[in-house]
Structure 1
């Protein structure tokens, strides 16, 4: 609107009010325009952050992007997948074998002493049992429903002689083979081979007052009233007078779960079990064995003559260690589990023959009140067993290694040899490993042992029956002899070490040496 002025140059009052109103309206419109700004008219850097983010160009998903994500996921899951595959053989050995050996060559040749031969021995043993059961059923289902006659029983015994004894062998009377009537009476008296063994539990271990705190846990000790762990934890048994006795100790118990269960539940209770210090869950194995009725021993690994070709394992007692270190290792072994009646040496042909090595160990065992069993199978009193006998420590020596060759026929021959030694000397001790074929043959052998005039007893029952204590003069002479033998062994070792450390032979005088100039 044009302003009109008066003549004197002043603005008309009406016009001034109109101008003020227009200015107010203009400011209001500016505020409204500011609130209703068109974002399309503004530059990008002045836009709000949210709008800028929405208007940024989006990059399409590329193949490389998907591959990178897949790689990250794969790297994250790979440790779990590898662990799962590695656990297959542990959780299911059969599936693990098929998974890792599928398409491999099949073994068609049986190597003596291998696992394949052991499985074949077990299969033959199972077949023998099936033949025996089949023969018994056929005899029981005789004509007219009558019981089997003596002739039928004698005829059915031909295929199962290894289970109940050879019909042509004597039964201890010395008058040839028993008659069919006598065989029938023996079978009726001994019962069925398949009958389960009834448990005869021993007292739970440990007993109060028979252990003390050691460097690695509780170790055995003689009680305040004089009770020894040997007397408290052994299987009670009274030796029969005038009857040969034989004792068997099964070693390596605890290393395999199936074999351990078979040894505890399938073997006669008078067979002693030696638990390996390297087994898993030793306390559970010892508790189950004692709950069944078996007395248990602890294996004592010691250095053999062909060490290190034959390795007794970690924490074994070695001649190269000092007396203190060997005693520390012994204390670690003694603290493995409670409830054992004694120790049985494992290997140890070298360690047990040196006076400076074995004497401190035997003295420590004597102070704990345990039994010491020589497990080398030599059949003669070793130096360690003689020291134990001289100290009044319960002791025994093994006469035969039953399964040094884990074959069915070899085991049967060794068991027959053990019976002959018992008849000749009055007592015999056998050592065996916990192989499946050994457990099966021991059960069969023990089933028919009574008819041979020999009684199966625990190893603790023959304590002190094999080694006679020496007099003071004899003990001193044996000590001097052991020291002389030890000096010879040490001199031989020094010569071998010197020969290995000598440099190569120098060149002959008439031959030039290999030098840079030549």
Structure 2
């Protein structure tokens, strides 16, 4: 019969209590025996484990070693606790110390160490020192000349030429005897007259507004708004919206087109108000208030162009934007995107390709686009390469459409020295070829250097002109046979590139370019 139960199945509480009391008495006796043994000098190792006190048993029980998972869990808890504080501290670095923050977040960036030597603060200080140095030299030259342009204090023309020597890195040094090595360089007397006429570099630019846009009869309704067209009387949007400018034979000209206008409000205002009016502005189709930007630029006197984003060779690493013309799209889809671009704002004299090194070299891609541009009476400016006329520029020349090619990108490295060096190359190229076009982006340092460079450009015998004034000067139209041969060559290169890509060689690209 089980303990604690009676024969009739009822629980015997008295018997259970007696058994519990007997168990407690036994444990107490064992503990007292262990204590007596310890007091009698008996070693605990000689006793049974069960006879040891509970505290001693707990100490002698084997401990479970901590696992790797236990350590990782603790490390994770500590990391999650510390991470918000660490992230906040790193985010506060640019606020507390902008210079250190710039160096930290731009470390290892592409062209970061070359493009901006030192910090942004050091770059701006360098620009300020350079501007101040040039202004001081200009004032000294002006002080040496009377208001009527005659030398003061008995100075000769040679003395004035020596004072002008070294005014800027972009000015050629006159030879001894008062003559210059280049026939296009002005004489010291002409330089003195130019200095008297130039005024101060900080003088505000007087507006010279262009005619309001749109001109009636030069646009039509499209799928996304009004798009340009040739007027019934034969007037083209290019003729109506370009900046008036008269060129002279045997006079070298340079032109600058500043791209990316409209993406940044402060830079856009600086480009419109601070740059010479003969510098053309390329407005991005992704700009905010794009119609107002174009209207303000034309009200000041700048001719404007619409940037057309096209697929580059390294797409998608270089992304021209959501409405770009791509070789992977059908002809119809690209023409729909082109129509959306054409309807962005009125008043542009032409289109300038943005990136587009791949799209502009493929006959099947660029030919339909150039046909639309030609029928619309617009100018096509090739901006995808430096000094290279792509297949698109040649097609525009063959169709007798106004065209131009960018020769030099002046601010690939946006530093003062590099920009000045590229502008010097542009001037020398204009002297050799009669005309040269530079591309620039709307960086603050670029706008500042362009302003200083244009202020003294005439001293080098070169004239700043709008891009529209240099149309059809760089690419010669081909004969019918030459054009057909070029088309077959472009088609062959395109097929070879497509076959190479199907075989897994993704680096193969058509490179149908024409040396300019």
Work out whether 1:464 is the aligned partner of 2:466. Answer: no
Within the alignment, does 1:490 sit opposite 2:484 as a pair?
no
Residue 380 (str. 1) matches residue 388 (str. 2) = yes
Residues 139, 147 of structure 1: 8 Å contact kept = no
- Measured in 2, the distance between the counterparts of 1:462 and 1:355 equals 25
How far is 1:425 from its partner? 1.0
Relative to the length of structure 1, the TM-score reads 0.70
Aligned positions of 1:10-159 closer than 5 A: 101-102=95-96, 105-107=100-102, 111-114=113-116, 120-133=122-135
Cα distance, 1:115–1:228 mapped onto 2, change above 3 Å = farther
Equivalences for residues 363-402 of structure 1 within 5 A: 363-402=371-410
| Distance of 1:172 and 1:360 partners within structure 2 | 53
Farther-moved stretch of structure 1 (115-124 vs 311-320): 115-124
Deviation at 1:99, TM superposition (A): 10
* Structure 2 Cα separation of the partners of residues 342 and 98 of structure 1: 46
Q: Tell me which residue corresponds to 1:174.
A: 181
Superposed CA deviations along residues 88-123 of structure 1, whole A, max 9, x for unmatched, are xxxxxxxxx989834684446872325975654443
2-side partners of 1:111 and 1:312: how far apart?
Answer: 25
Per the normalisation by structure 2, the TM-score is 0.70
Q: Residues 389 and 464 of structure 1 are in contact (CA less than 8 Å); yes or no, is this contact kept in structure 2? A: yes
Q: How far has the Cα of 1:426 moved from its partner? A: 1.0
Supply the distance in 2 between the matched residues of 1:133 and 1:430 (Cα, whole angstroms).
25
Greater displacement, 99-108 / 273-282:
99-108
Are 1:237 and 2:248 counterparts?
no
Structure 2 residues without counterparts, runs of 5 or longer: 1-90, 145-150, 508-516
Q: Which residue of 2 aligns with 1:403?
A: 411
State how far apart, in whole Å, the 1-side matches of 2:490 and 2:141 are: 63
Q: State whether residues 186 and 460 of structure 2, in contact with CA within 8 Å, keep that contact through their aligned partners in structure 1.
A: no
SS at structure 2 position matched to 1:404: coil
| Change beyond 3 A, Cα 1:268–1:134 | closer
- Aligned partners of 1:429 and 1:112: how far apart in 2? 25
Deviation of 1:470 after TM superposition, in Å, equals: 0.9
Match of 1:353 among 347, 361, 383: 361
1:165 to 171, 186, 195: 171
* Cα distance in 2 for residues equivalent to 1:140 and 1:486: 59
State how far apart, in whole Å, the 2-side matches of 1:103 and 1:213 are. Answer: 54
SS in 2 for 1:203: coil
Tell me, yes or no, if the aligned pair for 1:202 and 1:235 is still in contact at 8 Å: yes
- C-alpha separation in 1, matches of 2:344 and 2:419: 31
> CA 1:124/1:219 → structure 2, altered by over 3 Å: closer, same or farther?
same
C-alpha offsets along residues 150-179 of structure 1, whole Å, 9 cap, x if unaligned?
599889868x83388365689993179999
Counterparts of residues 430-509 of structure 1 (less than 5 Å): 430-496=438-504
DSSP 3-state at the match of 2:168: helix
Partner SS state of residue 389, structure 2? coil
The answer on 1:303 being equivalent to 2:311 is yes
Aligned equivalents of 1:181 and 1:368: distance in 2?
47
User: 1:251 maps to which residue?
Assistant: 259
User: In the aligned structure 1, how far is the partner of 2:186 from the partner of 2:478?
Assistant: 45
Q: CA offset at residue 126 of structure 1?
A: 2.2
| CA shift in 2, pair 1:239/1:100, >3 Å | same
In the alignment, the residues of structure 2 paired with residue 140 and residue 241 of structure 1 have an alpha-carbon distance, to the nearest angstrom, of 31
CA distance in 2, matches of 1:200, 1:331: 31
Matches within 5 A, 1:284-303: 284-303=292-311
Aligned pairs, number: 399
Judging changes above 3 Å, is the alpha-carbon distance between structure 1 residues 325 and 450 closer, same or farther for their aligned structure 2 residues?
Answer: same
Distance between the aligned counterparts of 2:486 and 2:143, measured in 1?
67
Task: Give how far 1:130 is off.
Answer: 3.1
Matches of 1:136 and 1:392 in 2, distance apart?
A: 44
Render the CA deviation track for 1:13-59: whole Å, top value 9, x for unaligned. Answer: xxxxxxxxxxxxxxxxxxxxxxxxxxxxxxxxxxxxxxxxxxxxxxx
1:176-230 residue CA offsets vs partner (Å, 9 max, x unmatched): 9999887655422322211111111000111111111111111111111111100
**Cα drift, residue 125 of structure 1:** 2.5
- Please point out which of 426, 430, 440 is paired with 1:418: 426
Which residue of 2 is the match for residue 342 of structure 1? Answer: 350
Which residue of structure 1 lines up, in the alignment, with residue 225 of structure 2? 217
8 Å contact kept, 1:304–1:350: yes
Distance 1:249 1:178, change over 3 A: closer
Query: Compared with structure 1, are the counterparts of its residues 416 and 169 closer, same or farther at alpha carbon in structure 2 (3 Å cutoff)?
Result: farther
Structure 1 CA distance, aligned partners of 2:399 and 2:142? 59
Structure 1: give runs of 5+ residues left out of the alignment: 1-96, 500-518
Aligned with 1:162: secondary structure?
coil
1:164–1:444 CA contact under 8 A, matched in 2: no
CA distance in 2 between counterparts of 1:423 and 1:163 reads: 17
Q: Tell me, yes or no, if the aligned pair for 2:94 and 2:101 is still in contact at 8 Å.
A: no
Cα separation, 2, equivalents of 1:485 and 1:140: 59
Q: State the alpha-carbon separation in 2 of the partners of residues 306 and 215 from structure 1.
A: 31
Q: CA deviation at 1:132?
A: 4.8
Greater Cα radius of gyration, structure 1 or 2: 1
